[in-house]
């Protein structure tokens, strides 16, 4: 219940804080690694590699229930997300601009350059035929303007560009 998933336009955690329990459907997730890395009872440390959408708090509670002892998180630290690992992180008060990653390289998706005449239509969410933008028909892609500013992340659906995220200048 303490997640940002919305039901009826309201985040579950807000409903949970009001004492409202909402029925939730199971979600398909993938656990690539679940390793016991430390034991100092009553605490144990786990290393988990999992798919997006995995609620580690729920996973730990379920493991404790299955073991018959109960369990909850005392600490949760994300050490990797996509291509980025914690050792690449920088403190904001000691930011090194030379280590910043260009937006074109962040997602490692194909890049489509939008002609200047169509930039505002993309920013306004207007769908275009994929041929008009020269976009790939079978994968997610990034849309940039001619100055290499990220406009959107999109995919093709029914022959048209569908925006997953549009970024405002």
Instruction: Tell me the torsion sign for CA atoms 93, 52, 64, 72.
Output: positive
Name the CATH code of domain 6-81 (choices 3.30.499.10, 3.30.70.3190, 3.40.50.1980, 3.40.50.720). 3.30.70.3190
| Chain region(s) in the chain for CATH 3.30.70.3190 | 6-81
Q: What is the pTM of this model?
A: 0.63
The whole-number pLDDT of residue 164 equals 95
State the Cα–Cα distance between residues 141 and 164, nearest whole angstrom.
Answer: 10
Query: Domain 103-166, CATH 2.30.130.10 — does that match?
Result: yes
The whole-number pLDDT of residue 105 equals 81
Peptide bond into 42 cis (omega under 30): yes
In DSSP terms, which residues pair with 113 in a beta bridge? 144
| Chain region(s) in the chain for CATH 2.30.130.10 | 103-166
Mark 20-58 as b/e (b = at least 16 C-beta within 10 Å). Answer: eeeeeeeeeeeeeeeeeeeeeeeeeebebeeeeeebeeb
CA-nearest of 101, 57, 47 to 79 is 47
State the Cα–Cα distance between residues 125 and 140, nearest whole angstrom.
Answer: 16
Which tokens belong to 168?
Answer: 């405002």
Percent of the chain with pLDDT over 70: 99
Question: What is the tens place of the pLDDT at every residue in 19-76?
Answer: 888 888 888 999 999 999 999 999 999 999 999 888 898 899 999 999 999 999 999 9
């Amino acid at each position: 219940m303490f997640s940002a998933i919305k039901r009826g336009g309201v985040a579950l955690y807000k409903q949970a804080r009001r004492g409202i329990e909402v029925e939730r459907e199971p979600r398909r997730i993938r656990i690539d690694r679940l390793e016991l890395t430390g034991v100092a009872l009553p605490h144990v440390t786990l290393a988990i590699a999992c798919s997006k959408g995995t609620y580690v708090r729920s996973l730990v509670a379920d493991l404790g229930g299955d073991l018959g002892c109960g369990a909850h998180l005392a600490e949760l630290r994300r050490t990797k997300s996509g291509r980025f690992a914690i050792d690449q992180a920088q403190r904001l008060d000691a930011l090194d601009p030379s280590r910043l990653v260009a937006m074109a390289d962040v997602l490692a998706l194909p890049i489509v350059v939008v002609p200047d005449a169509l930039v505002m239509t993309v920013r306004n969410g207007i769908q275009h035929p994929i041929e008009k933008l020269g976009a790939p028909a079978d994968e997610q892609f990034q849309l940039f303007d001619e100055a290499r500013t990220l406009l959107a992340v999109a995919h093709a659906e029914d022959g048209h560009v569908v925006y997953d995220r549009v970024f405002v200048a």
